[in-house]
A and B are shown apart, each in its own frame.
Chain A
Amino acid sequence: MKKIMILGAGSIGGSVAEHLAQENEVTLIDRNAEVITNMRSRFDARFIIGSIESPQVLEKAGCEEADVVLAVTEHDVTNLAACFICKTLFDPGDACARIARIRNRGLAEHKELLQAFGVTVSYDPEDSIAEAIASAVGMPGVSRLVHYASRQLAIAEVRIREQDISSQNKLSDFISHSRELGYYLVAIRRGDLTLPATESLHLQVDDSVILAAKAKNMAKTIMLLRNEQQLSTKVFIAGGGQIGRALAAKLEDDYAVTLLEPDAERCKILAHELGTTLVTAADPTVEEVLRSEDVENGHFFCAVSEKDEVNIMSALIAKKLNCKHAAVLINRHAYQAVLSGIKMDMVVSPSEVTISILLQRLSSRSYFDPIVIDEQVTNLTMFPVQRSSKIQGQTMAQVNWPDNTLPCALLRDVPEDKPSLVSEALPAVQIYFPDSEVSIEPGDRCIVYVKDANIDTLTELADLPYFT
């Protein structure tokens, strides 16, 4: 149980707090009394009304004892100031992690400056979301994607559709290719069940395949799994907010991007900032508009406006008009549950992105990375192999894993020949999949998929002292 301070109860701060309050001691501070009063009855946390730039308020909130400070207001300067105050007044030993939401690109890249302000991690939710959607556009059918080892390893969940299933479609076909193409099938999710990927299994419609691959092979692997030819390069973006703009900027070199934004003034600015993107002043929830923009032949429809309702409606219409894929941005958690019955290719929530970043940084000793798949929480867990661990010395296939655990991959740091002068280069990591013959050594990092998020048995097996 961590002590977490969340500064700013906006859409991100609020939903992150709600999520974290289930397991942690959360204190939420915001200036807006009305917002706080509304949240007070929703979940169990400590709520404080006050300005987060005020040392008195921060002291009252118990900043001294915090393990993590999360500054997520909309203003960079406020977030920086709060981190600076926390660092200077309450945390001279630098024991707590301070995560700030920084929108300004130049500022976010200036690491030393951020460090001077006491920010240990900066992140930009809009940019992270745009990044996630952009990678999904490249790999359609992926409902979740998690990266490890500086984005060299990817683990994805791919949904199987009717047209993906050919008559002789046994899993053995995929498994036999896996060695040469560098991927590994971890499991098949069918309804509530999670089945280990064995050769005799047949794929069915609506199965989800959980797949680990080297990041550069991921797109190819998914193409193989899904019977897919990309016919169109048309990508539509509904909503020209921060996310829409960032997404268009990322995609416009490779795709024919059309951006739909009802506000004409905003369109003018966007057209100025973006390159080849066609910015159109139109309401994306009107069917005629989508028809005239030729959504029918579209490859991907990304609904990323600020309003959840607009996103859901426009994506539904686009799907009805036979647009191949759609991604929806959703702030309110309740809407996600509603959408689970409808086949969206991707549902993104800002709070989930924030939480996954947060969880990676919560402490150097925690290796959790829970991802939420549909409504069921499942854990992808990365843990270091101890000297005392029972699993070392065996290959991954030999280890007697607990029933709820499936191995995904093994990461081994490659010792560098010479002290590297170029620090920007990626740290060299060797990735092994469970079908390799390599035996596990102390110091390796092991990634496993835990079906029911209960890691007790795993903890025992791997002898992890800090999971207790």
Chain B
Amino acid sequence: MHSVAVFIRFFKRNLCILEPLGRIIFMFGLIMLVPIGLVLSDQDPTQLLLAFLLPSIACIVIGLTMRHYGRELADKFRLRHATLLLLIIWCGLPFIGAFPLRSYVDPASVLSDSYFEAVSGITASGATIMINIDTLPDSIKLWRGLLAWMGGMGLVVLATALLPNLVIGVKHLFNTEISGPQQEAELTPRIEKTAKGLWTLYIILSCTCALAYWISGMDWLDALVHSFTTVSMSGFSNHDTSFAYFDSVAIEIIAVLFMLLAGLNFATHFSAIRQLSRRNKTLIKRAHSIRASHFGTYLKLITTSAGISSLFQSFSTPYRQDNELRSYLTVLFIGCVAVIFALGQTTDLNWTQQLRHGIFNTVSIATTTGYSNTDFGSQWPLFISFFILLLANFTSCSGSTGGGIKMIRARTALGILSLEGTRILRPNVFLQVRIRRQVIDNKVVSSVLLFLFAYTLTMLVLGLTLLAVQPSLDFLTAISAALACLSNTGPGLGEVGSGTTYTSLNPVATTVCAFAMLLGRLELLLFLVLFTRDLWR
């Protein structure tokens, strides 16, 4: 009885999340209508139509009702509610998103499997439990891509961009959803403008990617879905064999390029483009001041070498000032070289295959995307595939769509290590962790250490749990599944490797994996809130 009372009180106290929650559910319902356009091409349209239409209409109705009843309470929204809301939408929306998928998974464990697939989509992990993906209806393929695409940039960011004036507390949500230790400064003075800017950038990147895929030979659905899963670093593919299905160097180069771009901090892209447009404006102004009819003058100004170099200068400044960019590229480069070299030593692939397989798979796994153009899990020696899976834990930058602990945290941790080394020799020296001259605040340093500790511990506990709930698993499968899910990479090694899927896991184990993906996407610590007494009292 007591616990029921606690729960009712808890519910009453947190009623103010109704309005924002309603908004997000409403938005989700609308997006769910998109795949309906493709339903007709299937042989059984009615069943599919219902599979999308029912949850979508339910979402829209529930969303609108919640908004209606929660309107007056919305101004009580605070940080604690923001945290709660974030947990609810990230754990709850996959249930709705899983609805259309339920007829295409193992009938013995519909609930856990479809939930796993939806979570894997929305957290942009890309671990799949479906077999024979090639035969899935087009609408389902698109829905998987859409799930990944929405989750990649963040559901709240999307909601803020689409539905302005969300709530005052949205700022808290925003910072929790965008990955990385802390945001140094706001990109724009208004949060909805930031959200719109980020999403515009994201959409442009996706469109360019889709266009490039289409030009180099994919059909339009493949191009669209793969562009969605590339820029969101999800790694869902429309084919069981992933990119090996296309067997095209051009497509692989495009994929690598866009994975590299999506692994960067989106804030950096954002400020680069803004700098460019600013510089452009000053050029227009100057052209105007030289001659009254300014377009010709503007063209002349912009085509001179000085004009081009000044434009390039302003465009590249944010990239040059990015704290992670250099380490990110260096790690990837060294990783690729090492993998190619090791492949040459241990396998009998010819050098073009070494190059193609080495670069593509390393970039794909290290950026936490999870595509493959060869079954590296079973064909490569274990140490190489394990090496690239380890890279996935820290390579992608903060503020990107990738997962893991993020490059900035890894750099900070490395900085602490080197400091400790110096401190052994000079016990009284006063030192600060720095990344490229910038001093890292002590608060951030300790939170990074805490995060690393929590991450490692979670990984081990998850691996252990997987072994416990399904004793038939071997150690490699269990630990790599935990690792791949927690870092939102997708494919692991062993039975869950790139050539196979997560089907060999039992329902409990898949639920554990789904939970691991959510943990990874929301950067662990948010879940601690659930266990604080403060929230429930």
Q: 1/0 per residue B183-218: CB within 8 Å of A?
A: 001111111010000000000000000000000000
A230 touches B (CB below 8 Å): no
Known: A25-B193, A41-B79, A64-B278. A48 touches B185 (CB 8 A): yes
B342 → chain A closest CB, angstroms? 44
Query: Contact between A44 and B188 (Cβ–Cβ < 8 Å)?
Result: no
B161 → chain A closest CB, angstroms? 14
Q: 1/0 per residue B209-249: CB within 8 Å of A?
A: 00000000000000000000000000000000000000000
Query: Contact between B278 and A25 (Cβ–Cβ < 8 Å)?
Result: no
A170 touches B (CB below 8 Å): no
A344 touches B (CB below 8 Å): no
B283 → chain A closest CB, angstroms? 13
Query: Contact between B278 and A3 (Cβ–Cβ < 8 Å)?
Result: no
B171 touches A (CB below 8 Å): yes
What are 11 A-B contacts with C-beta separation under 8 Å? Answer: A24-B189, A25-B188, A25-B193, A27-B189, A43-B168, A44-B171, A44-B190, A45-B190, A47-B185, A47-B186, A49-B185
A21 and B168 alpha carbons, distance in the complex (Å): 11
Contacts of B186 in A (CB 8 A): 45-47
B172 touches A (CB below 8 Å): yes
Minimum CB distance partner of B192 in chain A: A44
Query: Contact between B171 and A25 (Cβ–Cβ < 8 Å)?
Result: no
Instruction: Give the 9 A-B residue pairs with the shortest CB-CB distance, closest first.
Output: A25-B189, A46-B186, A46-B189, A44-B191, A45-B189, A26-B189, A27-B189, A25-B190, A48-B185
A27 and B185 alpha carbons, distance in the complex (Å): 11
Contacts of A46 in B (CB 8 A): 185-189
**How many chain A residues have a CB neighbour from B under 8 Å?**
16
Contacts of B278 in A (CB 8 A): 64-65
A167 and B517 alpha carbons, distance in the complex (Å): 77
Residues of A29-65 contacting chain B, CB below 8 A: 41, 43-49, 64-65
A458 → chain B closest CB, angstroms? 24
Minimum CB distance partner of A5 in chain B: B189
Contacts of B189 in A (CB 8 A): 3, 21, 24-27, 44-46
A48 and B193 alpha carbons, distance in the complex (Å): 17
Query: Contact between B172 and A41 (Cβ–Cβ < 8 Å)?
Result: yes
Contacts of B171 in A (CB 8 A): 41, 44
A65 and B281 alpha carbons, distance in the complex (Å): 10
Number of A-B contacts (CB under 8 A): 33
Minimum CB distance partner of A93 in chain B: B285
Contacts of B188 in A (CB 8 A): 25, 46
Minimum CB distance partner of A65 in chain B: B278
Residues of B155-185 contacting chain A, CB below 8 A: 168, 171-172, 185
Contacts of B187 in A (CB 8 A): 46
A41 and B176 alpha carbons, distance in the complex (Å): 13
- With A25-B188, A47-B186, A49-B185 given, name 8 new contacts (CB 8 A): A3-B189, A21-B189, A41-B171, A45-B186, A46-B187, A46-B188, A48-B185, A64-B282
Query: Contact between B185 and A44 (Cβ–Cβ < 8 Å)?
Result: no
Contacts of B168 in A (CB 8 A): 43-44
Contacts of B193 in A (CB 8 A): 25
A3 and B190 alpha carbons, distance in the complex (Å): 10
A49 and B185 alpha carbons, distance in the complex (Å): 8
Minimum CB distance partner of B285 in chain A: A93
Contacts of A25 in B (CB 8 A): 188-190, 193
A21 and B187 alpha carbons, distance in the complex (Å): 15
A46 and B282 alpha carbons, distance in the complex (Å): 23
A47 and B183 alpha carbons, distance in the complex (Å): 11
Minimum CB distance partner of B278 in chain A: A64
Contacts of B191 in A (CB 8 A): 44
A401 and B186 alpha carbons, distance in the complex (Å): 44
Contacts of B282 in A (CB 8 A): 64
Contacts of A21 in B (CB 8 A): 189
A48 and B184 alpha carbons, distance in the complex (Å): 9
Minimum CB distance partner of B185 in chain A: A48
A341 → chain B closest CB, angstroms? 21
A25 and B190 alpha carbons, distance in the complex (Å): 6
A137 and B186 alpha carbons, distance in the complex (Å): 45
Minimum CB distance partner of A44 in chain B: B191
Contacts of A65 in B (CB 8 A): 278
A43 and B190 alpha carbons, distance in the complex (Å): 10
A87 → chain B closest CB, angstroms? 16
A25 and B192 alpha carbons, distance in the complex (Å): 11
Contacts of B185 in A (CB 8 A): 46-49
Contacts of A64 in B (CB 8 A): 278, 282
Minimum CB distance partner of B172 in chain A: A41
B347 → chain A closest CB, angstroms? 50
A258 and B282 alpha carbons, distance in the complex (Å): 58
Minimum CB distance partner of B170 in chain A: A44
Contacts of A24 in B (CB 8 A): 189
Residues of B298-344 contacting chain A, CB below 8 A: none
Minimum CB distance partner of A4 in chain B: B189
B170 → chain A closest CB, angstroms? 8
A162 and B172 alpha carbons, distance in the complex (Å): 49
A57 → chain B closest CB, angstroms? 11
A389 and B341 alpha carbons, distance in the complex (Å): 80
A3 and B189 alpha carbons, distance in the complex (Å): 8
A43 and B168 alpha carbons, distance in the complex (Å): 7
Residues of B338-395 contacting chain A, CB below 8 A: none
B511 → chain A closest CB, angstroms? 35
A64 → chain B closest CB, angstroms? 7
Contacts of A3 in B (CB 8 A): 189
A44 and B168 alpha carbons, distance in the complex (Å): 8
A48 and B183 alpha carbons, distance in the complex (Å): 12
Interface centre among A41, A49, A65 (most CB of B within 10 A): A41
B321 → chain A closest CB, angstroms? 10
Contacts of A43 in B (CB 8 A): 168
B187 → chain A closest CB, angstroms? 8
Interface centre among A3, A27, A44, A49 (most CB of B within 10 A): A44
Contacts of B172 in A (CB 8 A): 41
A289 → chain B closest CB, angstroms? 41
Contacts of A48 in B (CB 8 A): 185
A167 → chain B closest CB, angstroms? 43
Contacts of A27 in B (CB 8 A): 189
A353 and B402 alpha carbons, distance in the complex (Å): 48
A27 and B193 alpha carbons, distance in the complex (Å): 13
Minimum CB distance partner of B169 in chain A: A41
A212 → chain B closest CB, angstroms? 35
A47 and B172 alpha carbons, distance in the complex (Å): 15
A44 and B188 alpha carbons, distance in the complex (Å): 10
Contacts of B79 in A (CB 8 A): 41
A43 and B191 alpha carbons, distance in the complex (Å): 10
Minimum CB distance partner of B188 in chain A: A46
A48 and B278 alpha carbons, distance in the complex (Å): 19
A27 and B187 alpha carbons, distance in the complex (Å): 10
A49 and B182 alpha carbons, distance in the complex (Å): 15
A110 and B188 alpha carbons, distance in the complex (Å): 36
A41 and B188 alpha carbons, distance in the complex (Å): 15
A65 and B79 alpha carbons, distance in the complex (Å): 32
B179 → chain A closest CB, angstroms? 19
Q: 1/0 per residue B59-86: CB within 8 Å of A?
A: 0000000000000000000010000000
Contacts of A41 in B (CB 8 A): 79, 171-172
A45 and B282 alpha carbons, distance in the complex (Å): 25
B167 → chain A closest CB, angstroms? 11
A24 and B189 alpha carbons, distance in the complex (Å): 8
A114 → chain B closest CB, angstroms? 26
A41 and B189 alpha carbons, distance in the complex (Å): 13
A279 → chain B closest CB, angstroms? 45
Minimum CB distance partner of B184 in chain A: A49
Contacts of A47 in B (CB 8 A): 185-186
A35 → chain B closest CB, angstroms? 15
A44 and B191 alpha carbons, distance in the complex (Å): 7
A314 → chain B closest CB, angstroms? 33
A22 and B320 alpha carbons, distance in the complex (Å): 34
